[in-house]
Chain A
C-alpha cells in the first residue's frame, strides 16, 4: 500500500468525524486532526479504532499520544504494517 492509498484511507475514515469541512479540502500530511479538522478527543478515539479495523493493526497508548497529524497517523500505520 503506497502513501497516497494510506492518506486516502485516513481521509475517508476521518471525514464523518470532521467538524471543519474546509480542512478536508487541502488534506495532507501536515493536516492536524484537532486544529485543522476540529475532531474532538472522543471522536479521535473512534478514528483510531476505525484505523485499527481498516488496516488490521493494533495501536498502543504511546502511538496514540503521538498521533497529532495525518502524517503521524500514516507513519504509525506504515510502521505497524511493516512489523506485522
Chain B
C-alpha cells in the first residue's frame, strides 16, 4: 500500500487538514510533514497583529499525522478494506518548546506506544526545518472501521 492511499482516507478537508505528505509509515511509527499556509484562518485572531500557530492546531497536526495516519495504516494492515473510519481523540498531553510562524514547514514523528482494543496511543514529536524540537507529548485516540 502506498501512502497516497492513507492520505485519501483521511476524513479531513481544508481548512482543517494538517497533513501534506507522509514520509514513512509502518507498524510502529509514522512520519510526515505539513506547511502552515500564511493565509490559514487562525492567524487572523491568534494573535491580534501577531500571527503564531496555536498550540491546539500544532496538537491537531501531530494527531492527524502521528495517530490518525498511523491508525489508518494499522486498520488496513489488520484485515479488509476500510470503508468508514470512525475517529475520536481520547487524550493529549503536550509540552511546547518553540513557536511556529506562518509559512513554516514542520515534521511530525510518531512512535506507537500501544494499539489495543481500538485505542492507539503514541509518543509524538514535532520538529522545525533545523530539526529543533517544537513540541512533544502523548496522544491517544479511538479508531475503528465500521464496515458496511
Contact = CB atoms under 8 A, between A and B. Distances in A.
Report if A and B associate in a common complex.
Answer: yes
Interface of A: 40-43, 45-46, 48-49, 61, 64
A48 B90 contact: no
Interface of B: 88, 90-91, 114, 116-119, 140-142
Contacts, number: 21
A41 B114 contact: no
Given A42-B140, A42-B142, A61 B117 contact: yes
Interface of A is mostly: helix
15 contacts: A40-B90, A41-B142, A42-B90, A42-B119, A42-B140, A42-B141, A42-B142, A45-B117, A45-B118, A45-B119, A48-B116, A48-B117, A49-B116, A61-B117, A64-B117
A51 B119 CA distance: 16
Contacts of B142: 41-42
* Most chain B C-beta atoms within 10 Å of own C-beta, residue among A42, A49, A61: A42
Contacts of B88: 42
Nearest to A49: B116
A34 to B, nearest CB: 14
Nearest to A52: B116
A49 B90 contact: no
8 tightest A-B CB contacts, nearest first? A42-B90, A45-B119, A45-B117, A64-B117, A42-B142, A42-B119, A45-B116, A41-B142
